[in-house]
Amino acid sequence: MKLPAIKDFKLNAVLFKDLRQKTKRSQLSVSVFLLNLFLSLIAIIILLSVSFSAASYSPLDNTVFTVFFIVLGFMEFGFILLTVPAVTSGAITMEREKQTFDVLLTTSLTTRQIIWGKYWASLAQVILLIISGFPVFALVFMYGGVTFFQAFGVLLTLLLLTMYISAIGLFFSAKMKKTIVATVLTYVILLVLMFGTISMLLTAGGIIEVINSIVLDNTGVDPDLKIDFLGFILYVNPLCTIYDCMAGLFNFDSFIFGSDATMAGILSDVTHFSSNNILLTLWTPISIVVQMLIAWGALERASVVIDPLRKKADKYARKRKRNKQAA
């Protein structure tokens, strides 16, 4: 595989065109408005409830704002999950549906430039949305309870997860003919990545338990099998990443769980790895690196997929030969 050149990532024509179109659509401003309306409502409710509790002379507890921030963070993650696939999974298919894509392919833009242009344009749109919600987050700073480092950590993670999810959406947009199919597939894959992996581990854990007890019954020795390396499949899970990030930054164990609530704590319980294992303690950064690599791979694959001249397996070749011989 040839490595992409710098010019593939440079600001390119497709990016400018898409941004120009997007900024003229009312869609963008409407979604910014709706998101912030929603976030502000939540913020107002929480702040009001805090004010009332303060009014009743109970000591004002910073924990309330920490929880407030965590809730907002997860809500923002949920919002990303909902909107990003909708935006990116249409990036290529909509050009196909509008019959503008063929012409784009005949220009001297490379397929890679087209994909990266589309990618940055979609990202810009989504990121603008996310950033527009930051002022609401900033409310928390007025009261303390969240440090700058914590807030920055959460927002950066959300941003990187957005890049991951966008790439998946764009991949399906390149692969499929219809926007609706690409969108549905993106949502399905996200569900599989988040809940499919967890269910798979639970199932595997159950099966391993059964094996353990059968072996124990028959031989009297406990094989003590655990899911071990299977657990690393969760590196691809964006939900685990944002969870680990929050749990680490805000010390969940202190007020929600009794023990270590990070991914390291949870996985060390169900594997033979110690909770000090670096592969577990660095869960957030490692999983983000894994996810960025997947995103990269998806985009590379997407730029191959949209190339009309790429070699495809010809499943009819044999049938044609047979027909020819018959004739």
Partner 1 sequence: MLHIENLSKYYGTFRALNNVNLHINKGELFGFVGSNGAGKTTTMKICVGLLRADSGRIVIDGYEVRKNTKLLKQKVGYVPDFFGAYDNLTSIEYLNFFANAYGIYGKEADKLSEDLLALVNLSDKRNHEVDGLSRGMKQRLCLARALVHNPDLLVLDEPASGLDPKARYELKEILKSLSSMGKTIVISSHILPELAEMCSSFGIIDRGVMKMTGTLRDIQQAANFSSMPIVIVVRGDSEPAVQALRELPATKYVRPMAEGRIEVDYLGGIDDEVELLKILVNKGIPVVSYGRMEGTLENVFLQLMNGGQPQNGPAPGPVQAAPPMQAPMQAAPQPAPMQPAPMHAPMQAAPQAPAGQEVAR
Name the residue nearer to partner 1 (CB basis): 63 or 100: 100
Name the residue nearer to partner 1 (CB basis): 139 or 174: 174
In the complex, minimum distance from the CB of residue 319 to partner 1, in angstroms, rounded to a whole number: 6
Name the residue nearer to partner 1 (CB basis): 109 or 184: 109
Which residue in 5, 10, 25, 297 binds partner 1 (CB under 8 A)?
25
User: Quick one: which of 158, 159, 157, 143 has its CA closest to 66?
Assistant: 143
In the complex, minimum distance from the CB of residue 317 to partner 1, in angstroms, rounded to a whole number: 8
Amino acid letter for position 124: A
Name the residue nearer to partner 1 (CB basis): 106 or 219: 106
177 in contact with partner 1 (CB under 8 A)? no
Amino acid letter for position 271: T
The number of beta carbons lying within 10 Å of the beta carbon of residue 232 is 18
For partner 1, how many residues bind (rule: CB under 8 A)? 31
Buried b (16+ CB within 10 A) or exposed e, 194-222: bebbeeebeeebeebeeeeeeeeeeeeee
Which residue in 32, 50, 75, 109 binds partner 1 (CB under 8 A)?
109
127: left (phi over 0), alpha (psi -120 to 50) or beta: alpha
Are 107 and 185 in contact, with CB atoms under 8 Å apart? no
Site map for partner 1, 67-106, x if CB under 8 A?
Answer: -------------------------------xxx-xxxxx
Name the residue nearer to partner 1 (CB basis): 14 or 167: 14
Q: How many Å is the Cα radius of gyration of the chain?
A: 24
CA–CA dist 285, 283 (Å, integer):
6
Which residue in 10, 177, 272, 319 binds partner 1 (CB under 8 A)?
319
CA–CA dist 11, 119 (Å, integer):
11
CA–CA dist 78, 67 (Å, integer):
16
Name the residue nearer to partner 1 (CB basis): 142 or 309: 309
Name the residue nearer to partner 1 (CB basis): 272 or 320: 320
Helix (H) or strand (E) holding 208: helix 197-219
Name the residue nearer to partner 1 (CB basis): 168 or 306: 306
2 in contact with partner 1 (CB under 8 A)? no
User: Quick one: which of 178, 168, 170, 151 has its CA closest to 245?
Assistant: 151
In the complex, minimum distance from the CB of residue 32 to partner 1, in angstroms, rounded to a whole number: 17
- DSSP letter, residue 92: T
Are 121 and 22 in contact, with CB atoms under 8 Å apart? yes
User: Quick one: which of 107, 83, 82, 81 has its CA closest to 95?
Assistant: 107
How far, rounded to the nearest angstrom, does the alpha carbon of residue 150 sit from its chain's CA centroid? 20
Site map for partner 1, 299-318, x if CB under 8 A?
Answer: ---------xxxxx-x-x--
Torsion angle of C-alpha atoms 129, 114, 19, 79, degrees rounded to 10: -10
323 in contact with partner 1 (CB under 8 A)? yes
Q: Where in 4-23 is the site for partner 1 (CB under 8 A)?
A: 12-14, 16-17, 20-21
In the complex, minimum distance from the CB of residue 146 to partner 1, in angstroms, rounded to a whole number: 39
Name the residue nearer to partner 1 (CB basis): 57 or 312: 312
In the complex, minimum distance from the CB of residue 252 to partner 1, in angstroms, rounded to a whole number: 45
Positions that interact with partner 1 (CB under 8 A):
12-14, 16-17, 20-21, 24-25, 98-100, 102-110, 308-312, 314, 316, 319-320, 323
